Structure 1
Amino acid sequence: MSPRRTETGGRIDRLRTIRFTFDGAPYTGHAGDTLASALLANGVTLFGRSFKYHRPRGLLAAGVEEPNALVTVLRGEVREPNIAATMVEIYDGLVAVSQNRTPSLAWDIGALNQLGGKILSAGFYYKTFMGPVIGPLKGTRFWMFCEHFIRRAAGLGKAGTARDPARYERMNAFCDVLVVGSGPAGLMAAKAAADQGARVILADLEAHFGGSANWSGETIDGMSAADWAQRTVAQLGGNDNVRLLPRTTVWGYYDGNTLAALERVTDHKEVAAKGEPRQRYWAIRAGTVVLATGSFERPLVFPGNDRPGVMLAHAAERYAVEYGVLSGQRIALFTNNDSAYRSAVALKKAGAAIVAIIDVRGDVSNEMRRLASDAEAELLAGHAVVATEGGKALTGLKVQRFDAMSGALSGDERSIHADSLLMSGGWSPTIHLASQAGAKAEWDPARQAFLPPKPTQRWIGAGAFTGSFSTAEAIAEGRAAGLQAAGGAASSAPLPVVEAAPGNPDPAPVFEIKAKGKSFVDFQHDVTAEDVRLAHREGFVSVEHLKRYTTLGMATDQGKNSNVPGLAIMAEALGKPIPEVGTTRFRPPYTAVSIGSLAAERFGDLKPERLTPMHDWHLANGARMYSAGLWYRPMIYGLAGETVEQAYVREARATRESAGIVDVSTLGKIAVQGPDAAEFLDRVYTNMFSTLAVGKARYGLMLREDGLAFDDGTTWRLGEQEFLMTTTTANAGKVMQHLEYFLDVIWPELKVTVTSVTDEWAGAAIGGPNARAILASCVTGTAVDNAALPFMGIVHGRIAGVPVMICRLSFSGEMAFEVYSGAGYGTHVWEALIEAGKPFGLVTYGLEALGTMRIEKGHVTGAEIDGRTTARDLHLDWMLSKKKPFIGSAMMDREGLIAPDRLELVGLVALDNRPLNGGGHIVEELDEANPHDSLGHITACCYSPALGKYIALALVKGGKARHGTRAFVSDPLRNRFGPVEIVSNHFYDPDGSRMHG
């Protein structure tokens, strides 16, 4: 028998022995134990070291709110830090290690920090490390010298670097009612909703449903609360409309009643079954949410309250009743409310010796005095604990008379021998999810706690979450909530009969016993009561500033233990009531969430391999591929020994001298059809499309609603009510969403359908002086001369027997044609065009040559349409129609969007004939040691075979007015500095004579 294991009781399976290690030492426990309960049963009191002072710390809680006992779990080379030992279910072969200590937990050199005194008070690093360095490093900032050491000392657990071999899943779920929490209130809510036929999901972060009913000692309908809970869970599990999710933490509440949850599927298993993931991320969209998340017991603030052996009273009760483990042999309790008395009786029944109950209240009720007598405990009413004794384990405590009204101590100190001190400072409803849903919590002076806010989304509260701490009230609220959530009528069926434990959990308003020694408010971050007062003295009076200056309630704690005591101390310092001081808002995640679960199946190279119909041909013919957006496209078709620059220069030069062909299948293609299609396009584009003739195409520009440029492309009119819109490759999806939004939400009256047809078409663009001749030699069914196919004209014909649609338009600045065929015939048509081009020296070219020719011509792409530029910035203001409104027209003339010093599109020529880099800054005066005063930046650059120079497009302040002037490129990250000339962005064929033929 383990030193603290009770002879009977608990939910553990005493016939199954589990072997595990902690800090390399072997231990045993039983099936059903957590790492915390198993170590406690083995007499372990030291679980961790505190964040700042490295003080020894033991267990404080029994659940997710545990701030001290954070461990790292090892599975082979994979390490997962900062897991509460209270939430780790033991299994054979479990390996766990403590954190934040060197060289060991028992002997930690970091404990020397305790000698730092007030130097290590709140905000010490802001004040200590800002001065100048003296001595050999004189002239450097002290922070720069110390930062390396501070960052090494910061944090709790150490993240691993080994690849995680575990599998994670992502699930989407829809339900009528999501119930969060499975105590009596949650179980009744789930049952009531399920009985109405609603689709119900019941989620609880524990391994077993039932919540506090598992260890409350109360009876419900004549049976133990635990048996009643098991019966109700069995009834729920038998319904097809109910999904039960144990070991599932609902950690985020988002807009639209969407909640995020993490299910720990196999964390408690030595070996996962075939196909089982380690964890499962749930995105749950609920009609209504019932929040039955219960409450947390609060610690009391007094000197030495962090010593190993000091624990929350309800946690000790849970260890005894649920796990069959006593927190100590001689137990004392320190309280300001009645709930600790019930814990004392439960612990006495489990076999513990209760030596004393210290109550700050002088007027303890007769009922509580009777419970103290039943626990065979000495009752010290009107007393407080003023100190604890011991090193890495509690050996005793000191008490003194206390006046709860004035907070004054009096009389002599008295010593009590105990190896476990249990404290209860009242209860805080677990309102984190309600706070995330978007409203401010409300203070309840009777309960000395923040209650949930008024709902701003579709949620209903029940049980201790709302401040209803009695089981009977929780059951009644739960059923009412479940019926309301399911849309059912009030039930006339009798509620379960509860034989409740006596007592009132509402606490006396006492939050700090002011005596000599450190009194901790936030155990995880070593925030003391004096730190809170120091923050007040230094002007951090906002609760949000208090939190950030002292780190109160941050990290995995998220205010579960520390918020209310810390705010009460701040309120006292300010001389204001707690409601005026307020509380910080809680934000996701409610508890730590593994990065693996967030990524789920989306790991490694997450880009889908979206391939054009000619992809295999490209690979077979020497193309070097790279990803462009979601697509894989040829970068170059390199010859042996060629560099990338040499290849694209050769391809671009050959295209301009004769002809070249490029795969443009990736361009977004959207069919816009319907009686109002032309009107719709007039509203979407800045220029007119209703006047476009059938069989013609037009270049168009779209703005966002805020007046900034969104996307450009050509749209082809194939019939009176039928258009084919093309978009940039990168923005195809965004444009489709944009169109659908305006049709569905803004203009539902328009009779228009939009359909993405990108994958339906294969596209090839053939351009250059001989492009027309090549087409004429292989196209049948139509002429392609200037009369039949003028600029922006469209014809239909056949190539190698395949129907094709041809539009004469250019992105390269040369006479060019885009040839579209059905995707299944793409390679066939591509090869026919290449065969027809052989006598003319046709070359295939990739994106690098395509980009080079578009830079030479001055065309814009996503590098320039970057979400910050306007049509005027890009010299496209000629496309802004004055005859009609369009998306963005109401906002495009805002003062900031027409300011004279905006960044405008220009061209750059490198005067030192060296390569330029995208992102490099343009400056008027070159200062390599201290780059400053940027005029703008380079968006795209290349070597121009047409000009024989390195050129670039850039966005520069007052760009057009600077044509013909000189400036400098300043690129300190790549050590590129040098002179440039600012010119027009139209480097090549500015009058369009080559393009128009």
Structure 2
Amino acid sequence: MSPRRTRTGGLIDRARTIRFTFDGESYTGHAGDTLASALLANGVSLAGRSFKYHRPRGVFSAGIDEPNALVTLLREGVREPNIPATQIEIYDGLRTESQNRFPSLAWDLGAVNQLGGRLIGAGFYYKTFMGPVIGPLKGTRFWMMCEHFIRRAAGLGRADYEADPSRYERVNAFCDVLVVGGGIAGLMAAEAAAKAGKRVILAEQEPQTGGFARWSDETLDGKPAHQWVAELTERLTRFDTVRLLPRTAVWGYYDGNTLAALERVHDHVARTPKGHARQRHWTIRARDVVLATGALERPIVFPGNDRPGVMLAGATRRYATEFGVLPGNRTIFFTNNDSAYEAAVAIKRAGGHIAAIVDVRPRIGDAATALATEAGVVPLTGHAVAGTKGSRALSGALVQAFDAETGRLSGEARPLECDSLAVSGGWQPVLDLASQAGAKPVWDEDNQAFLPPEPAQRWAGAGAFLGKFSSADALASGRDAGLKCAGKRPSRARLPEIAPEALNPAPAPVLEIRGRGKAFVDFQHDVTADDVRLAHREGFVSVEHLKRYTTLGMATDQGKTSNVPGLAIMAAARGITIPEAGTTRFRPPYSPVAIGALAAERYGDLKPERFTPMHDWHVEHGAEMTPAGLWHRPLVYASAGETVEQAYIREAAAVRRSVGIVDVSTLGKIAVKGPDTATFLDRVYTNTFSTLKVGKARYGLMLREDGIAFDDGTTWRLGETDFLMTTTTANAGAVMQHLEYCLDVLWPDLRVHLTSVTDQWAGAAIAGPQARAVLERCVTGTKVDNETLPFMGIVHGQIDGAPVMICRLSFSGERAYEVYCGAGHGQHVWEALMEAGEPFDITPYGMEALGALRIEKGHVTGAEIDGRTTARDLYLDWMLSKKKPFIGSGLMDRPALIDRNRLRLVGIVSLDGQKLGGGAHLVERGSSDEPGESIGHVTAYCYSPALQKYIGLALVRGGKARHGTRVLLSDPLRRRFGQVEVVSHHFFDPDGERMHG
């Protein structure tokens, strides 16, 4: 048996032995162990070295708040640093390493830093390395000499250079009630909401639900607490409306009751099954949230409080009762509250020896006295631990009389032998998510802790999160929170019976025991009480300045154990109270999140791909596909032996000659509905949409707030308050985000609702002189003649039984129609259009031909609307309304934006018959070796089948004033230098006779 494993008890599976390694040495544990509990069971007290001083450190807690025992996980060929040993479930083959040591954990050369402790206190790097060097290297910054060594020593753990082979997933979820925390309060809340018919998600960061009740010795309704919570969990699984997410930490709370969570799906097994995710990132949007996040135990600040063997009292209780592990052979408890007495009894019942209970309070209650008697000791009240002894592990403690009112020690220090020191400085509710949701915590004098603020969003608290530390209060508050979120009144139904608790959970004030030696506040960053007082002396008295100057509360534990003690010391130094000193802002993430989990499918081969409903048809008919953002679109439909250029010239010529069809399903499509929609569109577009008639479409232009062109497209009025907006493929997401910002921030009073419907519609554009004839052969339920369907008109009908919506608009300069149908009918309608077009030799065309047609017509796209051009630069100033304000109207007339010498849109024609080049510069004079000053650049080019020459669009200084002049095209990357003529950008049918005919 392992040295500190109890003979019986615990929730581990003693029948299953698991082998793992730590720093190359093999150890064994049992199923249900964490790495921390297994190491403690094997008598391993040294788990790591501290960041700055390289002091020996051991396991300090039993949960997510572990600041010391950070290890590197060696998994699937890569290193993952800074994982708390308390959060790693052991499995056969687990390989881990300690951190921040060289050459070994036992013999660390970095420990020499302890000799210079006074020289490397808070802010030493600001004051030391920025100074000049004196002597032979005078004038050299000291930092330059030390930078290499400092950077090698910086950081916690060592990152890997290898690519992470793990697979990650992202999930979006919606629910009526999200319960954060699976203790008894969270379980009660989930059951109450589920019984009310609500969709519930319960997220618990531990592998099992139940929390404290799983390892307490309480009875609920005459049953052991762990059995009662197991049965309640099993009842929840019977609800179809409940989803339980174990091993899931909710780490961020954002606007609109949107919360972020990380599920460790396969971290507890040796290898992630092929094709499965190791971790899953959840974005959960909830109508209501129950925060049942519990509380974390605080340490006490005293000299030598960081030696291996010093541990939180609640952690010793959990290790003994859940994992069957004793913290040591002789344990001293040091406390300022009653909860440590229960922990002492738990250690005693597990077979441990209690050497003493040291309590700073001069008196304790009857219940605590009875527990001390059961633990076999008489409490040393009015005393404090003033120091510890030991080198790499704890060997004893110094106990001294202590006056809690003055904070002073008196009398001689009394040495007591121990190899385990369990400390408890009170409990702090976990308020991170509540604070992230938009309000400041409130100090509670009775609990000597910060409690939740008034909710700024739709959440309710439960259990220890509210400062209700008894199980009876946790059950009641959990049930009431669940009912509140379900829209019900608190119930008077019977709660499970619990033996009355006579213990007083309220601690003495947050204390610092001042004596000789370093007293640590933040174990992870080696921040001492003296560092906090130094920050005060040097003027860094704001809690935010204190945090940054000393690094208190930073790094992976985010101050879970150190924040309140640090604030108390600063408050004492300033002569004010803790609430007057305030607290730092809680920022996400609450616990570390792998970058891979945030990126998920957006990384590597897992990048998502979007296919239009007609994708398979395109591939089967020889389309060469090309990416367009995340979409796959046909580039050309090349015949055997054709080049891309030959193919698109043939396709574009077919459109001009007869008829062609192109897939436009990728265009952004946004349903804009509501009583104020017309007003809203007038504000976001430069031109007017409130006058648009139902059944008509209009071309629109949007500007950014700075007056720069943002996006263009058509918007269709389908009903009095029902509009369909189309955007460019590339800008669909940006436009949606822009519109949401306008409604949420600029005009929250407007009654408008936005829905992205890009994926709901399939679209095909029919263009060419015979386009109407094709539709007449296949459309039923409506006519498509010029009177029924004029330019920019909209009709509804059917094609081979599928409902369609047809708008007459043109991007090519030809008579053209966009045919929209439900995505599920996309290929069916496409094939019906192809069949109807057979007598006219209908030709499918891709993006290259689409681009050639639009260049011939002079239409602008993202190549010209590039984030630098204005409406006037593109000769779209006819769309700038003079009758109304709109986004960008206030800044679009700044002098620099109306300067005559700005780059403006023109057409160019190659005079030597050679290709042009996108991005090539235009110059007035010079040679290929020494071209002159650039006067503009080419934005797009093609071979025009209509003009039978190479043409292009360009942005050129002076714009129209240069029509009819000749300039030089300089393209050194493609070794191209030649003459071009500047012409109007309307190359083909400038009067629009073909489009309107």
- 2:896 aligned partner: 901
Partner Cα distance (2:674, 2:183) in 1: 59
Q: Where in structure 2 are the equivalents of 1:151-550 lying within 5 Å?
A: 153-159=154-160, 161-166=162-167, 168=169, 170=171, 172-175=173-176, 177-196=177-196, 198-238=198-238, 242-270=242-270, 278-365=278-365, 368-377=368-377, 379-500=379-500, 502-550=502-550
User: How many equivalent residue pairs?
Assistant: 961
Between 1:301-310 and 1:213-222, the stretch displaced more is 213-222
- AA matched with 1:391: S
Offset, 1:406? 2.4
Q: 2:76·2:271 contact (CA, 8 Å) conserved in 1?
A: no
Partner Cα distance (1:675, 1:61) in 2: 54
Deviations 1:571-627 (A, max 9, x none): 222222111221123233322234454455665353424248488668976x75421
Offset, 1:867? 6.7
1:191–1:832: structure 2 CA closer, same or farther, 3 Å change rule? closer
Deviations 1:888-918 (A, max 9, x none): x354432x4432124865369999x999986
Partner Cα distance (1:277, 1:124) in 2: 44
Partner Cα distance (2:406, 2:969) in 1: 71
Partner Cα distance (2:796, 2:287) in 1: 52
1:235–1:951: structure 2 CA closer, same or farther, 3 Å change rule? closer
TM-score by length of 1: 0.79
- AA matched with 1:901: A
Deviations 1:63-113 (A, max 9, x none): 111111122333331443322211222222222222333333223333344
Offset, 1:212? 1.7
1:864–1:104: structure 2 CA closer, same or farther, 3 Å change rule? farther
1:937–1:569: structure 2 CA closer, same or farther, 3 Å change rule? farther
Offset, 1:195? 4.9
1:864–1:308: structure 2 CA closer, same or farther, 3 Å change rule? farther
Partner Cα distance (2:359, 2:973) in 1: 70
Deviations 1:196-234 (A, max 9, x none): 555544433223332222333334444443344344444
> Aligned pair 1:628/2:628, yes or no?
yes
Partner Cα distance (2:200, 2:733) in 1: 35
Between 1:142-151 and 1:505-514, the stretch displaced more is 142-151
Q: 2:78·2:162 contact (CA, 8 Å) conserved in 1?
A: yes
Partner Cα distance (2:74, 2:626) in 1: 38
Partner Cα distance (1:460, 1:788) in 2: 58
- 2:110 aligned partner: 110
- AA matched with 1:104: S
1:10–1:727: structure 2 CA closer, same or farther, 3 Å change rule? closer
Between 1:270-279 and 1:14-23, the stretch displaced more is 270-279
Partner Cα distance (1:877, 1:557) in 2: 56
Between 1:553-562 and 1:490-499, the stretch displaced more is 490-499
SS of the counterpart of 2:541?
coil
Q: 1:810·1:816 contact (CA, 8 Å) conserved in 2?
A: yes
Q: Where in structure 2 are the equivalents of 1:676-715 lying within 5 Å?
A: 683=682, 685-687=685-687, 699-702=699-702, 709-714=709-714
SS of the counterpart of 2:45?
coil
1:668–1:7: structure 2 CA closer, same or farther, 3 Å change rule? closer
Offset, 1:309? 0.8
Partner Cα distance (2:16, 2:847) in 1: 65
- 1:668 aligned partner: 667
Partner Cα distance (2:755, 2:76) in 1: 55
- AA matched with 2:254: Y
Deviations 1:485-505 (A, max 9, x none): 334444444444433455323
Partner Cα distance (1:976, 1:113) in 2: 59
Deviations 1:865-904 (A, max 9, x none): 4678654565433212345x5xxx354432x443212486
SS of the counterpart of 2:450?
strand
Offset, 1:339? 1.9
TM-score by length of 2: 0.79
Partner Cα distance (1:910, 1:311) in 2: 80
SS of the counterpart of 1:554?
coil
- 1:591 aligned partner: 591
Partner Cα distance (1:14, 1:112) in 2: 42
Offset, 1:62? 0.7
Offset, 1:12? 1.7
Offset, 1:712? 1.8
SS of the counterpart of 1:332?
strand
1:607–1:63: structure 2 CA closer, same or farther, 3 Å change rule? closer
1:781–1:723: structure 2 CA closer, same or farther, 3 Å change rule? farther
- 2:929 aligned partner: none
Percentage of pairs with the same residue = 56
1:696–1:120: structure 2 CA closer, same or farther, 3 Å change rule? same
Offset, 1:431? 1.6
Between 1:943-952 and 1:452-461, the stretch displaced more is 943-952
Offset, 1:45? 0.7
- 1:608 aligned partner: 609
1:396–1:954: structure 2 CA closer, same or farther, 3 Å change rule? farther
Offset, 1:436? 2.0
Offset, 1:726? 5.4
Q: 1:907·1:951 contact (CA, 8 Å) conserved in 2?
A: no
Offset, 1:124? 3.7
- 1:763 aligned partner: 765
- 2:58 aligned partner: 58
SS of the counterpart of 1:498?
coil
1:871–1:318: structure 2 CA closer, same or farther, 3 Å change rule? same
Partner Cα distance (2:362, 2:787) in 1: 105
Deviations 1:271-318 (A, max 9, x none): 678987544444444443332222111011122211111101110111
- 1:769 aligned partner: none
Partner Cα distance (2:231, 2:796) in 1: 73
- 1:27 aligned partner: 27
SS of the counterpart of 1:570?
helix
Partner Cα distance (2:670, 2:424) in 1: 68
Partner Cα distance (1:964, 1:574) in 2: 78
Between 1:630-639 and 1:468-477, the stretch displaced more is 630-639
1:118–1:874: structure 2 CA closer, same or farther, 3 Å change rule? farther
Partner Cα distance (1:936, 1:694) in 2: 45
SS of the counterpart of 1:19?
strand
Q: 2:263·2:282 contact (CA, 8 Å) conserved in 1?
A: yes
Offset, 1:563? 0.9
Deviations 1:944-990 (A, max 9, x none): 9999999885699x99999999999999xx99999999999956759
Deviations 1:250-273 (A, max 9, x none): 333333334333343443345678
- AA matched with 1:170: V
SS of the counterpart of 2:86?
helix
SS of the counterpart of 2:712?
strand
Partner Cα distance (1:936, 1:404) in 2: 80
Offset, 1:400? 3.1
- 1:83 aligned partner: 83
- 1:929 aligned partner: none
Q: Where in structure 2 are the equivalents of 1:903-942 lying within 5 Å?
A: 905-906=903-904, 940=939
1:233–1:951: structure 2 CA closer, same or farther, 3 Å change rule? closer
- 1:931 aligned partner: none
- AA matched with 1:32: G
Partner Cα distance (1:759, 1:823) in 2: 12
Gaps of 5+ in 2: 779-783, 821-825, 924-932
Between 1:522-531 and 1:486-495, the stretch displaced more is 486-495
RMSD: 5.8
1:670–1:533: structure 2 CA closer, same or farther, 3 Å change rule? closer
- 1:926 aligned partner: none
Partner Cα distance (1:463, 1:263) in 2: 23
Between 1:854-863 and 1:977-986, the stretch displaced more is 977-986
1:795–1:11: structure 2 CA closer, same or farther, 3 Å change rule? closer
